[in-house]
Amino acid sequence: MPDIDQKNGIDMANIASINGQDVASGGAYDPVAGTGTYTETVPTTGLIRIGGVSKSNPPETYVIGDDIIGFPNGTDTIRNIGSDVDGYYNVVKENLPAGMGTPTIVDFGQYVSWIIDSAGKLWRVGATLYGGNSANAGTDSTNYEWRQVTGVGDSDTGWTNVSVGQTLTLLINSGKLYGIGANTYGGFGNGTTTTSYNSFLQIGIDTDWVSVHVDNYNSYAIKGSSNVLYAAGRNNNGKNGNSATSGNQTTFTAVTATNLVSATNNNFTFVTSSINNVLAIQSGRAFFWGDASSSFEAFGSNLTGDQTVPVQSGKVSGALQTDWSRGCVSDRYSLLINTSGELYHGGSGAYYVALDGTQTDHQDGDHVQTGTDTDWQDVKIQRNYSFSTHGLARKNNQIIYAGLNYYGRIADTTASFTSTPTVIMQTVSSNDSWGVSSSNNSENTKFVFAYAT
C-alpha cells in the first residue's frame, strides 16, 4: 500500500496553511500526527456568546449538538459556563439558530429565557409551563433549543419588548401586552390572580404599551404617548407606589404622587426593580420606592425604611440631578448612570459593589461618582433575590464584575472577593442585548449574559 500523502483532499506534503494559519512542512503543527500548536479560528460575526458566574463547583457547560448552548428544564434553566483559556467567561457556539436575526433584547429567568431579534421575531427556550418551547414553536421534547414563537399577537415580527421574572413573563407585540406563566400576585395586571400556563394571554385591549419590567412579585409597564408608568402585583414594602403595604394590586394602576415632576405621572423612560424596591427615571430624575433599608440607605438622600410612594433621590454634592438615564437598585445599594456616561453609587459599599475597588459606604445623602470614566453604558442586579454581593455593569462594550467571588470563578482567580472591577466578557454589542438572572436563593446565585457580535 502506498504512503498516504493526502487527507480530505489536501496534499499534506505541500500544505501551506490551515484556516489561514501558516503551517510549514515539519513545522510547529503536524496535521497528520495532530502534534504541535494549532489555534482554531473562531468566527467573529453571526454568533451568540453566553457566559456566566455562579456558586457552582465545578462550573458547567451545556451544549446541544451543533446548536447554540441550550438551557435544561427546571431550576437549572440558567447554567454556569466556565471561562475559556484566556481567563474570560466567553463561550461561543457556532451560529445563530436558523432564521434568527441579531438579538436586540435578551432576558433570562429561572425557568425560561427569551430573545427578540432585529427582525422583531420572538425566541424562547426552557420550561413550557412558564413560556418555554411548546407546539406552536416547533417540536422539541427536551426544550433545550431556541424556537421561534409564531401565531401570537398581530405579527410574528411585531415583538418589541419582553421581561421575565421567576415564573411570569410579560411581552409586547404591536403595542399589545401579553403574559404567560404564573400570576400568583396579580402581576398580569388584568384584575385576576389566574395563571396562564402554556399559552399566551392578551392583557386588556390597549395597543400603546411601550415597555415592561417584571421581578418575582411585581410588574411595571410604561404606556401611551405620554409614557405613563403602571404597576401591579404584591404591595409588600410599598412596591406599587400607592401607599399600600399589604395585599395585591391585581390591576395595572398608574403610579402617581404629588412629588413627581409637575405632579404628573408622564415622561417615564426607565424602570427597574429588585425583590423589595423600585427605581424609575422620569424626565432625567431618579425616583425610588419600596424598602430603603435603615441600615444601608440604598436610595441615597438619607432615606430609610419603606417608602410607599415615589421619592426623588440621586443627589450629587447635595443637589438633585436631572440627567439620570439608567440604574439599578437593591436592598443595600443603588447605582445610577447619567447621560454623560458617568457612574454613581449610593448606599452600602460592602463586597465592592460600587465598582471602584473599595468597600466605601456612601450613606451621607449623596450618590458619589465611581472613578472618572464616561463610558459606562448599563448596570444590572439580579432580580430574584435582594441580597446584593456584587456589581455588574456594561462599560466600553465589556461586562464588568466586582464583588463576592464564590470558588474563585471570576477570571480564574482564587480570591474570596474580586475587588478590582474585572472584565469577564469582551466585545459586547452596543445594544441592550445582555441579561442577568439568578436562582431564588442567595446561596446559589447565578448570572448569565447573552449577546450577538
* Domain spans in the chain, listed from the N-terminal domain onward: 1-35
Residue 438 has pLDDT above 70, yes or no: no
Residue 443 main-chain phi, psi, to 5 deg: -80, -10
Model pLDDT for residues 8-33, shown as the tens digit of each residue = 444 444 444 444 444 444 445 555 56
262: which DSSP letter? G
- Of 341, 325, 336, which Cα lies nearest the Cα of 396? 341
Q: Residue 362 to residues 39, 278, 340, 344, 356: CA-CA distances in angstroms?
A: 47, 19, 21, 10, 12
β-bridge mates for residue 91, sequence order = 50
Angle formed at CA 92 by CA 87 and CA 96, multiple of 5 degrees? 160
Convert the pLDDT of each residue in 41-64 to its tens digit: 445 555 555 544 443 333 333 333
* Residue 373 scores a pLDDT above 50: yes
- Classify 173 as helix, strand or coil: strand
CA distance 381 to 392: 7
Q: What is the DSSP letter of 88?
A: S
Q: What is residue 28's predicted lDDT score, i.e. its pLDDT?
A: 54
Min mean pLDDT across 9-23, 71-85, 86-100, 422-436 is at: 71-85
Residue 260 has a pLDDT of 81
Residue 324 to residue 343: CA distance in whole angstroms: 10
Percent of the chain with pLDDT over 90: 42
Nine-digit cell at 42? 473562531
Q: What pLDDT was estimated at residue 385?
A: 44
Handedness of CA 88, 402, 433, 197 (dihedral sign): positive
Range in 146-150, 224-228, 302-306, 404-408 with the lowest mean pLDDT: 404-408
pTM of the model: 0.81
Question: For a pLDDT cut of 70, what percent of the chain falls above it?
Answer: 65
What was the pLDDT predicted at 414? Answer: 57
**DSSP assigned state of 243:** S
Work out the mean pLDDT of the chain and round it to a whole number.
Answer: 76
Mean pLDDT of 281-296: 92
pLDDT digits (tens, 9 = 90+) for 383-435: 434 456 778 888 887 778 888 765 444 544 556 778 888 877 666 655 556 65
pLDDT for 226 equals 93
pLDDT value at position 74?
Answer: 31
Q: Which three cell numbers stand for residue 124?
A: 424562547
Length of the chain: 453
> Closest Cα partner for 254 from 267, 243, 241?
241
* Torsion sign across C-alpha atoms 117, 120, 121, 127: positive
User: Cell for 271?
Assistant: 424602570
